[in-house]
Amino acid sequence: MAEIALRNIVKRFGSLVAVNNLNLHIRDKEFVVLLGPSGCGKTTTLRCISGLETPDEGKILIDEEDVTNKRASQRDVAFVFQLYALYPHLTAYGNIAFPLVAQGLSKKRTRQEVDRAAQILRIKHILNKKPRELSGGDMQRVALGRAIVRRPKVFLLDEPIGTLDAKFREEMRAELKKLHVDIGATTVYVTHDQVEAMSMGDRVVIMNLGVLQQVGTPHEVYNKPKNLFVANFIGSPGMNFISCKPLRGPGGKLALRLPVVNTTIAIPDETQTIIIDKKKEEKDLVLGVRPENVIFSRKEKSNHLQTRVYVVETMGSYNITDVRLGDETIKVRTAPSILPEVGETVYISFDPQRISIFDEETGDSVV
Amino acid sequence: MSIFKRSKENRTRNGQVYYRPMRDITLLRLFIFPTIILLIVINVFPLFWSLFLSFSRYSAKMPNIWGKNPRMIGTANYSRILTDPDIWIRFITTAKYVVLSVGGEMILGFGLALLIFRSNFKGKGLITTLLVLPMTMSPVIVGLMWQLFYDPNWGSFNYLLGLGRIDWVSDPARNLYSIVIVDIWMWTPFVMLLSIAGLSAIPRYLYEAAEIDRASWWLKFWKITLPMVYPLLLVALIFRTIEAFKIFDLPMGIVGRGAVAPRLLALHLYNVSFVTWKTSYGSALGYIMLIIIIATTSIFIKYLKKAKQ
């Protein structure tokens, strides 16, 4: 099938740099998700791959062939638009058949291919309906049908389920993943929803302000975020951050001093070594802890920090408790049975094996 | 007039006079009634009066004597019109005029719209405005102006096209086409404007989807552009057909209503009604034209409704 390589892609709209020097290699049959907040350049990147936009600088290769200056119609890519972009005056059948008609396929073959696509997407019963008679989910399926009927080398999906309601989105997520497995085409999927990205992607590409932040498997981007942006963007809720500074304690051991609460917390030996090796001993750092790695207790314990409960959000299978640590709010994930009162004094500590440390100045990960 | 009404029971308290404001419904009637009365007097009454006249013998020039002028003669006017061999020539000439002028306007107007909409040059707005100018002129003036252009002796039309001394105005074999040319010149911008409006309403993503689907430009035009602009083209077609069918001012300005004038229905209607003063005959002819226009447009409107679904 197809490999995609983006080399030093730059795309500007007037003075705005939508994509800034992007390098990315997408392997054959891979499901890659471009993730980022709105305006981060993910859709522009996708449109550059499709040929609907031409990058100002850089090269795009599909299967090692330079397609940078080729039109979308010459690239053998299928694109599913955010708002479906179905032809309003054609029936669902006409929409799905459109790329085949454009190819000049015989009527009989066209019908066979459309039927096959309709079978996969389970939309045989709506083939005679026009787009305005269809629900959002069905329109989405028709748009997918139009994409898969051609058996393209590359699938490009631009927030394809962003407009569906939450329940249905979950369903479609699984369906899309299954579709990718069935068809096996290289797929690039754009979304701003990190749950979608984490659940569907083989690899996740995180972008912000046109710049690539991190590429990795969902596990990697979650557990080893490369910088503060990724750490905060991935995860729901995102990572907690507390300003800190390394400090030599008794016995020459390195600890982290948290100015907000005027306390010092111990860190494992290997973390100390890394901080020293990376020459960050003198720098202002940021301690990052995921909500589930905050140890929570309602009773006083040694090495725990005393805090006060601010808000409790019940999520069903877990609770998120916001506690105040000086001026900072720390989100703590607790078991659903733990329901502290607002204003109650509680105690927290951080799992030393699961903390991240970032350089405050650059935002880059240290540990 | 004050909108406050003085009423006896409201003249109270300390000898001070109070006014009760007018009720909304009264105010409403005050605004609506003049319009309704005006409509009845200048539209509805003449409609029914002329319908009545079409079944009688009547001349507006003669004194009204009930039973004599008008005198009821049933459908005689209609049968006279429909059995007149000349009238069929007039129908055909008018139909020819409609087909040629409206056809030309639709093709040229839509073509120009495509050209202007797709291109992106400086002064696009100015060119569009200039193209629209003919439409803004008075048809009678346009007619007289073109009469000068067409003059075989010193008109610039023949000169500019290098055609020699062709008589565009008084040659009955040709003057229908000279009016068609002016009609097209004048009303193509109208079709163009509506088409541009239609083209601008087509979302760009449809063309992007078609590009991804590897459609040729012809397929994009045939499957996206045309069907999406079609309802507005139909609206233009309806307006132009009605107008062209009852065209009067242009031929009157260019050729006049004399013997060499093309045999257009509206010119004939004018001659019958206001030159020979056969008012009732003219009424009947007017009704026949009305029925034809309503029948034709209702077919178009049926397609329009279908297209909108």
Task: For residue A63, give the CATH number of its domain.
Answer: 3.40.50.300
For residue A329, what is the domain's CATH number?
Answer: 2.40.50.140
* Interface contact flag, A90 B213, Cβ < 8 Å: no
Domain boundary among A215, A233, A251: A233
- What pLDDT, on a 0 to 100 scale, did the predictor assign at position B292? 95
Residues A137, A284 within the same domain: no
Q: How many domains does chain A have?
A: 2
> Which of A207, A233, A259 is the endpoint of a domain?
A233
Same domain as A123, residue A172: yes
Residue A366 lies in a domain: no
> In the listed set A233, A266, A294, which residue is the last one of a domain according to the structure?
A233
Q: Quote the mean pLDDT of chain A.
A: 91
On the question of pLDDT at A217 being above 90, the answer is yes
Residue A164 C-beta-side C-alpha neighbours within 13 Å: 22
CB contact under 8 A, B205 and A73: no
The reply to whether A342 and A195 lie within a common domain is no
Q: What is the structure's pLDDT at B17?
A: 67
Percentage of the residues of chain A whose pLDDT score is greater than 70: 100
| Most confident option among A147-161, A172-186, A208-222 | A208-222
Residue numbers in A near B206 (CB within 8 A): 85, 87
Is the predicted pLDDT of residue B1 greater than 50, yes or no? no
The answer to whether B215 contacts A52, with C-beta atoms less than 8 Å apart, is no
Note whether residue A17 is domain-resident. Answer: yes
Same domain, A50 and A183: yes
Query: Does A37 lie in the same domain as A173?
Result: yes
CA–CA separation, A28 vs A183, rounded Å?
12
Within a domain: A330? yes
Asked, for residue A126, whether it belongs to a domain, the answer is yes
> Average pLDDT of A342-346?
91
Task: Determine the residue among B212, B221, B233 to mutate to test chain A binding: the one whose Cβ has the most chain A Cβ atoms within 10 Å.
Answer: B212
Question: Is residue B18 over pLDDT 90?
Answer: no
Instruction: Say if residue A202's pLDDT is above 80.
Output: yes
Q: Give me the mean pLDDT over the A287-309 stretch.
A: 90
Residue of B nearest to A89 (CA): B227
pLDDT score of B20 more than 80: no
Residue ranges of domains in chain B, CATH in brackets: 1-43 (no CATH), 78-308 (1.10.3720.10)
Residue A252 lies in a domain: yes
Does B213 sit within 8 Å of A98, measured CB to CB? yes
| CB distance A62 to A152 below 8 Å | no
Looking at the structure, tell me whether residues A329 and A280 fall in a common domain. Answer: yes
Nearest Cβ partner for A85 among B209, B214, B215: B209
Structural domain containing residue A352: 240-359
Q: Which residues contact B43 (CB under 8 A, 6 or more apart)?
A: none
Residue A135 within any structural domain of the chain = yes
Would you say the C-alpha torsion B154, B155, B158, B160 has a positive or negative sign?
positive
Q: Give whole-number Cα distances, B219 to A70, B102, B209, B233, in Å.
A: 20, 26, 12, 19
> Does A253 lie in the same domain as A128?
no
If asked whether residues A322 and A198 sit together in one domain, one would say: no
Q: Is residue A112 part of a domain?
A: yes
| Closest A-chain CA to B222 | A102
Residue B70: both structure tokens together: 């008008």
State mean pLDDT over A321-330. Answer: 90
Cβ–Cβ below 8 Å for A102 and B215: yes
Q: For residue A365, is pLDDT > 80?
A: yes
Please give the average per-residue pLDDT across A93-114, as a whole number.
Answer: 94
Residues A265 and A192 in one domain: no
Under the banding of pLDDT at 50, 70 and 90, the label for residue B47 is very high
Residues A301, A225 within the same domain: no
pLDDT tens figures, A256-296: 888 888 888 888 888 888 888 888 888 899 999 999 999 99
Please write the tens of the pLDDT for every residue from B162-189.
Answer: 888 888 888 888 999 999 999 999 999 9
Res B282 pLDDT > 90: yes
Q: Are residues A184 and A255 in the same domain?
A: no
Residue A367 in any domain: the answer is no
The pLDDT value given to residue B309: 72
Could you tell me what percent of chain A has a pLDDT over 90? 60
Look at residue A266 in the predicted model and tell me its pLDDT. 85
pLDDT at A29: 92
- The interface predicted TM-score of the complex, written ipTM, equals 0.83
Rounded Cα distance, B136 and B288, in Å: 30
pTM here?
A: 0.80
**Residue B212 backbone class (left: φ over 0; alpha: ψ -120 to 50; beta: rest):** alpha
**Model confidence over A127-163: pLDDT tens digits?**
999 999 998 889 988 999 999 898 888 999 999 888 7
| Domain co-membership, A218 together with A344 | no
Residues of B with CB under 8 A from a CB of A: 203, 205-206, 208-216, 219, 223-224, 227-228
DSSP run (H or E) holding A332: strand A328-334
pLDDT at A353: 87
B123-155 tens-digit pLDDT: 888 999 999 999 999 999 999 999 999 988 888
